[in-house]
Amino acid sequence: MARIARNFQKVTIKDVAKYADVGVGTVSRVLNNNSHVDPSTRQRVLSAMKELGYVPNPHARRLSTGTSDLVTVITPEMKGDFYQTLIASIDEVLIKNGYSSLLYPLYNERKYEALRKSSEILLSTDGLIVDGVSVDKLLGDIVEPNMPVVCLEQESERYDSIMVDNYYGGIIAGDYFADLDMEIFVVTHRKAHELESTVFDERLEGFQESLERKGRSIDKIYYVPLDWESTFEVARRIFSRYKRCAIFTTTDYLAVPIIEVARTMELKVGKDVRVCGFDDLPIAQILEITTIRQPISDMGKVAAEILIKKIRGKARDKVRKVILKPELVIRET
Amino acid sequence: MARIARNFQKVTIKDVAKYADVGVGTVSRVLNNNSHVDPSTRQRVLSAMKELGYVPNPHARRLSTGTSDLVTVITPEMKGDFYQTLIASIDEVLIKNGYSSLLYPLYNERKYEALRKSSEILLSTDGLIVDGVSVDKLLGDIVEPNMPVVCLEQESERYDSIMVDNYYGGIIAGDYFADLDMEIFVVTHRKAHELESTVFDERLEGFQESLERKGRSIDKIYYVPLDWESTFEVARRIFSRYKRCAIFTTTDYLAVPIIEVARTMELKVGKDVRVCGFDDLPIAQILEITTIRQPISDMGKVAAEILIKKIRGKARDKVRKVILKPELVIRET
DNA sequence: CTGAAAGCGCTTACAG
DNA sequence: CTGAAAGCGCTTACAG
């Protein structure tokens, strides 16, 4: 006894079994179509399921098997093409392998807290892909030690990680700008949150290093939040003094308003004003922005593949680091 | 017998009970801190949990209670500020009420299929908010009849819906343009998928209707996919012939490249070229685009609130429709 | 190939 | 206030 019908008289595997005149085990077997079931029996069960409108209860399945076929994907944001591309490429691999992704964008403080409080969500999935934020710091105490985890754009002592050599990307951007006979500016993002990614800084460092090697230096670095509004302002400030200069933005996203302002002020972008972004976001292709291309899709694909191997217990034990190289793409700016 | 330790010797409620020398029921009670537990007992249980590193198994809880405290949020996309704002406002209400959101953006065909195939995901949550796509068509046969569902930007016969009066939005845009002594063009999105939203069409219809009433008409309608690339092309085509015209875009997103091209071609935006968007996305505020403001945050908030009421069984039974009105925001374009 | 049964880890009336 | 027990709806060795 002791049971209230919460689930609105849902039909269970038991009802199906009775209806088809078989045991529940058999129903379960056709459900998972593993082990051999007699074709005629299977047919009977199948039509019983249809007849009764049976839908399996995922919670029960998960409790019983201990797996959910779900993967949590944590990103610091989901705005912008970068994450679109990344998530789509992760998803593609996941779906192909029978998993679904559970997206968890940490777009504000509240989401951080919510994640820590109801870490249930994580624990109910089979694996975890974390982009940009530090697992060790953010979730070190929450994630079970043997949960399969892959880090993206973030190093980890304990887990596999996929990184892009952002420092190297900065270097090639610097090499490209060093020969230009103009002032050199940088517009970059200052990380606002302890747990945010350090990629922008790495790009900046590489850029700086490359210029130094060639006996040049950055004339000024502008730090902005990751929005266009502030970047417009910065651009106006720059162009009101300099009608001729080279600007490196540590992401294409920040290059867009700069180019917009330059054009509005009728400066010749690509000639007097040179702009090099980073990432090769779709917008960079559309606006023909010169940029450092990051292999975003590859990152997602590799991350998902490694994670699935880990979930299936096929991965090697030692912590692995995959480092992908960016490349310079010269366009019109 | 019959059991492999899949879950890496995880500690269960049983272990905690034994350790604290109480029954499992008591542990469960302190876990959910309902019904009264003796303070000293509670303390003993609490420290036992800490000692053993106990983490509750959500699957078991869900199977037992039949609830998950999860809400699925389905959107046709998640790119762009519109969905950012919408999702954030939904999340805020959800989190405040102890729920978590499970994001499911249908950004391509593959995701549609995946959703239909593993509809498990939906069924394992307590409720469903669906934006833009037709639940009846998309999921009519999957969603249980008594699953709490709220539709956004999409009417439904069976479920509550929150709509914006897009037709009315078109009307006020038309009223605004009708007095302008220039050619009038429209750039809009042609829905590519059977299940896509019809908002763009409704806006267009309102716009058309308003112009007709005032004895005017649209000179040409340009249909584009929802990306900038094609819109750039269209803009170039328009401005190569017309140096003076008014353009209504059925979303701000499409207004951006048009303004960009106009400025690049040195046309006077706001004077010779008038542009009115729709939505009032952040980008519209940044670029000072005249637009029809949609109350995005309100939509999300109202949807989440209604859903929670339904989940808690406090909602009225009849299907409810909430219609929010957009308004004209005049800026520089 | 298949049924009966134990088990997954919780929750919750019931009877103290 | 609390323990013993039934139940949630599945899966899966086990023994035919």
Cα angle A152, A158, A161; round to 5: 20
How far apart, in whole angstroms, are the C-alpha atoms of residue A275 and residue B80? Answer: 24
Q: Are residues B233 and B320 in the same domain?
A: no
pLDDT score at B10? 81
Q: Is the dihedral of CA B256, B262, B264, B268 positive or negative?
A: negative
Q: Are residues B270 and B303 in the same domain?
A: no
| Strand C nucleotides where any atom sits below 7 Å of a protein CB | 1-14
Estimate in Å the CA B22 to C1' D4 gap, whole number. Answer: 12
Q: Are residues B279 and B312 in the same domain?
A: no
pLDDT score at A4? 34
Give the list of residues 6+ apart from residue A57 with CB closer than 8 angstroms, or none. Answer: A10, A12, B63, B123
pLDDT score at B2? 31
**Could you say which of B43, B65, B87 is where a domain stops?**
B65
pLDDT tens for each residue of chain B, 333 residues long = 333 333 445 889 999 999 999 999 999 999 887 768 888 889 899 999 988 888 899 899 999 998 888 999 999 888 777 888 899 999 999 999 989 898 988 887 888 888 877 777 777 889 999 998 888 877 777 777 778 999 998 888 889 999 999 999 999 999 999 999 999 999 999 877 766 778 899 999 999 999 999 999 999 999 998 877 688 789 989 999 999 999 999 999 899 889 877 877 779 999 999 999 999 987 788 788 999 999 999 999 999 999 999 998 876 678 889 999 999 999 998
Q: What is the mean pLDDT of residues A67-76?
A: 90
Q: Are residues A232 and A254 in the same domain?
A: yes
Best of B10, B59, B73, B254 to disrupt the A interface by mutation (most A CBs within 10 Å)?
Answer: B59
Q: Which amino acid is at B302?
A: V
**Could you say which of B23, B47, B65 is where a domain stops?**
B65
Which residue's CA is nearest to the C1' of nucleotide D2? B26
CB pairs under 8 A between A and B: 110
Within a domain: residue B138?
Answer: yes
- The DSSP secondary-structure symbol of B269 reads B
Estimate in Å the CA A7 to C1' C13 gap, whole number. Answer: 18
Lowest mean pLDDT among A5-14, A57-66, B142-151: A5-14
Question: Of all nucleotides in the shown strands, which has a C1' nearest the CA of B64?
Answer: D8
Q: Do B118 and A105 touch (CB under 8 A)?
A: no
Q: Which amino acid is at A57?
A: N
B32 touches strand C (CB under 7 A): yes
How far apart, in whole angstroms, are the C-alpha atoms of residue B63 and residue B56? Answer: 13
Within a domain: residue B2?
Answer: no
pLDDT score at A176? 96
Does residue B280 sit at the A interface (CB-CB below 8 Å)? no
Q: Are residues A236 and A225 in the same domain?
A: yes
pLDDT score at B162? 94
Within a domain: residue B258?
Answer: yes
How far apart, in whole angstroms, are the C-alpha atoms of residue A2 and residue A253? Answer: 58
Within a domain: residue A331?
Answer: no
pLDDT score at B140? 72
More confident: A120 or A8:
A120
Could you tell me the CATH number of the domain that includes residue A320? 3.40.50.2300
Give the list of residues 6+ apart from residue A49 with CB closer than 8 angstroms, or none. Answer: A16, A27
How far apart, in whole angstroms, are the C-alpha atoms of residue A109 and residue B161? Answer: 30
Q: What is the pLDDT of residues A187-233, one digit of tens each?
A: 999 877 766 778 899 999 999 999 999 999 999 999 998 877 688 78
pLDDT at A333 over 50: yes
Within a domain: residue A247?
Answer: yes
Q: Are residues A240 and A148 in the same domain?
A: no
Within a domain: residue B333?
Answer: no
pLDDT score at B147? 86
Residues of chain A in contact with residue B283, where contact means CB-CB under 8 angstroms, are: 228
Q: Which DSSP helix (H) or strand (E) runs through B329?
A: strand B327-329
Within a domain: residue A63?
Answer: no
Find the domain containing B29 and state its range.
13-65
Within a domain: residue A55?
Answer: no
| Residue that has been written with the tokens 């409704």 in this structure | B202
Could you tell me the CATH number of the domain that includes residue B60? 1.10.260.40
> What's the number of domains chain B is made of?
3
The first and second tokens of residue A183, run together, are: 């002032």
Give the list of residues 6+ apart from residue B321 with CB closer than 8 angstroms, or none. Answer: B155, B160, B161, B162, B163
Cα angle B192, B195, B196; round to 5: 55
Q: Are residues B269 and B213 in the same domain?
A: yes
Q: Are residues B160 and B179 in the same domain?
A: no
Q: Are residues B173 and B289 in the same domain?
A: yes
Q: Do B58 and A146 touch (CB under 8 A)?
A: no
| Strand D nucleotides where any atom sits below 7 Å of a protein CB | 1-14
> Is the CB of residue A26 less than 8 Å from the CB of residue A17?
yes
Q: Which DSSP helix (H) or strand (E) runs through B134?
A: none
Ordered DSSP codes for A36-65? ---HHHHHHHHHHHHHHT----HHHHHHHH
Q: Do A84 and B79 touch (CB under 8 A)?
A: yes
Q: Are residues A112 and A151 in the same domain?
A: yes
Q: Are residues B306 and B160 in the same domain?
A: yes
Q: Are residues B256 and B269 in the same domain?
A: yes
Does residue A110 sit at the B interface (CB-CB below 8 Å)? yes
pLDDT score at B110? 80
Lowest mean pLDDT among A58-62, A133-137, A180-184: A133-137
Residue of A nearest to B105 (CA): A103
A-facing residues of B in 167-226 (CB < 8 A) are none
